[in-house]
Amino acid sequence: MMKTSILFQIYVIDSADRKRFEETGQELAELLDEEKLSAVPVLIFANKQDLLTAAPASEIAEGLNLHTIRDRMWQIQSCSALTGEGIQEGMNWVCKSVNSKKK
Ligand SMILES: Nc1nc2c(ncn2[C@@H]2O[C@H](COP(=O)(O)OP(=O)(O)OP(=O)(O)O)[C@@H](O)[C@H]2O)c(=O)[nH]1
Protein backbone atom coordinates (compact mmCIF):
# COMPACT_ATOMS: atom_id res chain seq x y z
CA MET A 1 0.00 0.00 0.00
CA MET A 2 1.34 3.39 -0.90
CA LYS A 3 1.38 5.87 1.89
CA THR A 4 1.06 9.56 1.22
CA SER A 5 1.40 12.27 3.74
CA ILE A 6 0.02 15.73 3.35
CA LEU A 7 2.06 18.43 4.98
CA PHE A 8 1.25 22.02 5.64
CA GLN A 9 1.86 24.51 8.40
CA ILE A 10 -0.58 26.83 10.09
CA TYR A 11 0.72 29.60 12.28
CA VAL A 12 -1.69 31.62 14.41
CA ILE A 13 -0.83 35.18 15.39
CA ASP A 14 -2.62 37.23 18.02
CA SER A 15 -3.11 40.40 15.97
CA ALA A 16 -3.94 42.42 19.08
CA ASP A 17 -0.74 41.55 20.94
CA ARG A 18 1.64 44.05 19.33
CA LYS A 19 4.16 43.62 22.15
CA ARG A 20 4.83 40.09 20.96
CA PHE A 21 5.13 40.77 17.22
CA GLU A 22 8.93 40.74 17.36
CA GLU A 23 9.04 37.46 19.26
CA THR A 24 6.42 36.08 16.88
CA GLY A 25 8.52 37.08 13.88
CA GLN A 26 11.55 35.25 15.26
CA GLU A 27 9.53 32.16 16.03
CA LEU A 28 8.04 32.13 12.55
CA ALA A 29 11.48 32.60 10.96
CA GLU A 30 12.76 29.55 12.88
CA LEU A 31 9.75 27.54 11.76
CA LEU A 32 10.36 28.51 8.14
CA ASP A 33 14.05 27.60 8.47
CA GLU A 34 13.21 24.03 9.44
CA GLU A 35 14.83 22.06 6.63
CA LYS A 36 12.48 19.09 6.80
CA LEU A 37 9.50 21.33 6.20
CA SER A 38 10.97 23.34 3.36
CA ALA A 39 8.56 23.84 0.47
CA VAL A 40 5.58 23.06 2.70
CA PRO A 41 2.74 25.58 2.26
CA VAL A 42 2.34 27.85 5.26
CA LEU A 43 -0.83 29.66 6.26
CA ILE A 44 -0.57 32.49 8.75
CA PHE A 45 -3.80 33.30 10.54
CA ALA A 46 -3.93 36.91 11.76
CA ASN A 47 -6.37 36.07 14.54
CA LYS A 48 -8.56 38.22 16.83
CA GLN A 49 -9.67 40.56 14.07
CA ASP A 50 -12.90 41.11 16.03
CA LEU A 51 -10.91 43.31 18.43
CA LEU A 52 -10.64 47.01 17.60
CA THR A 53 -7.00 46.95 18.63
CA ALA A 54 -6.08 44.23 16.12
CA ALA A 55 -3.39 45.10 13.59
CA PRO A 56 -4.54 44.51 10.01
CA ALA A 57 -3.11 41.47 8.21
CA SER A 58 -1.28 43.72 5.75
CA GLU A 59 0.60 45.40 8.58
CA ILE A 60 1.54 42.05 10.11
CA ALA A 61 2.69 40.74 6.72
CA GLU A 62 4.95 43.74 6.34
CA GLY A 63 6.29 43.53 9.89
CA LEU A 64 7.12 39.86 9.47
CA ASN A 65 8.66 40.40 6.00
CA LEU A 66 6.44 37.71 4.57
CA HIS A 67 7.05 38.92 1.02
CA THR A 68 10.66 37.70 1.35
CA ILE A 69 9.48 34.07 1.56
CA ARG A 70 10.54 32.45 -1.72
CA ASP A 71 10.86 28.73 -1.03
CA ARG A 72 7.23 27.92 -0.36
CA MET A 73 3.67 29.03 -0.92
CA TRP A 74 2.38 31.26 1.85
CA GLN A 75 -0.78 33.15 2.66
CA ILE A 76 -1.83 35.46 5.45
CA GLN A 77 -5.52 35.35 6.33
CA SER A 78 -7.23 37.65 8.78
CA CYS A 79 -9.62 35.76 11.01
CA SER A 80 -11.43 35.59 14.30
CA ALA A 81 -11.64 32.28 16.12
CA LEU A 82 -14.39 33.94 18.14
CA THR A 83 -16.76 34.80 15.26
CA GLY A 84 -15.41 32.25 12.76
CA GLU A 85 -14.70 34.96 10.21
CA GLY A 86 -11.90 34.04 7.81
CA ILE A 87 -11.36 30.46 9.03
CA GLN A 88 -13.04 28.82 6.03
CA GLU A 89 -11.13 31.03 3.57
CA GLY A 90 -7.84 30.09 5.23
CA MET A 91 -8.58 26.38 5.16
CA ASN A 92 -9.67 26.63 1.52
CA TRP A 93 -6.29 28.11 0.68
CA VAL A 94 -4.54 25.24 2.49
CA CYS A 95 -6.54 22.64 0.52
CA LYS A 96 -5.86 24.39 -2.77
CA SER A 97 -2.13 24.69 -2.07
CA VAL A 98 -1.73 21.10 -0.94
CA ASN A 99 -3.57 19.90 -4.07
CA SER A 100 -1.59 22.07 -6.43
CA LYS A 101 1.63 20.63 -4.97
CA LYS A 102 0.52 17.04 -5.57
CA LYS A 103 0.33 17.64 -9.34
N1 LIG B 1 -11.49 38.28 21.00
C2 LIG B 1 -10.93 37.13 20.63
N3 LIG B 1 -10.38 36.32 21.56
C4 LIG B 1 -9.82 35.18 21.13
C5 LIG B 1 -9.79 34.79 19.77
N6 LIG B 1 -9.14 33.60 19.68
C7 LIG B 1 -8.78 33.27 20.93
N8 LIG B 1 -9.19 34.21 21.81
C9 LIG B 1 -8.99 34.23 23.29
O10 LIG B 1 -7.61 34.38 23.56
C11 LIG B 1 -7.27 33.66 24.75
C12 LIG B 1 -6.11 32.71 24.46
O13 LIG B 1 -6.58 31.68 23.66
P14 LIG B 1 -5.89 30.26 23.66
O15 LIG B 1 -6.68 29.39 22.78
O16 LIG B 1 -5.62 29.84 25.06
O17 LIG B 1 -4.55 30.60 22.88
P18 LIG B 1 -3.05 30.24 23.23
O19 LIG B 1 -2.27 30.48 21.98
O20 LIG B 1 -2.96 28.89 23.85
O21 LIG B 1 -2.71 31.39 24.25
P22 LIG B 1 -1.32 31.77 24.93
O23 LIG B 1 -1.24 30.91 26.16
O24 LIG B 1 -1.48 33.22 25.24
O25 LIG B 1 -0.21 31.53 23.94
C26 LIG B 1 -8.54 32.98 25.20
O27 LIG B 1 -9.12 33.76 26.21
C28 LIG B 1 -9.41 32.95 23.95
O29 LIG B 1 -10.76 32.98 24.25
C30 LIG B 1 -10.39 35.67 18.82
O31 LIG B 1 -10.41 35.44 17.61
N32 LIG B 1 -10.93 36.82 19.31
Determine the topology of domain 9-102 in CATH: Rossmann fold (3.40.50)
Write the pLDDT tens digit of every residue in 34-72: 877 788 999 999 999 999 999 999 999 998 889 988 889
Distance CA 11, CA 48 (A): 13
Q: Tell me the CA–centroid distance for residue 20 and ligand 1, in Å.
A: 14
* H or E element that contains 76: strand 74-78
Q: State pTM to two decimals.
A: 0.91
Q: What is the pLDDT of residue 37?
A: 76
CB count within 10 Å of CB 95 equals: 12
Is the shortest distance between the CB of 82 and ligand 1 below 6 Å?
Answer: yes
Higher local confidence (pLDDT), 27 or 84: 84
Q: What is the pLDDT of residue 103?
A: 57
What residue ranges do the domains of the chain occupy?
9-102
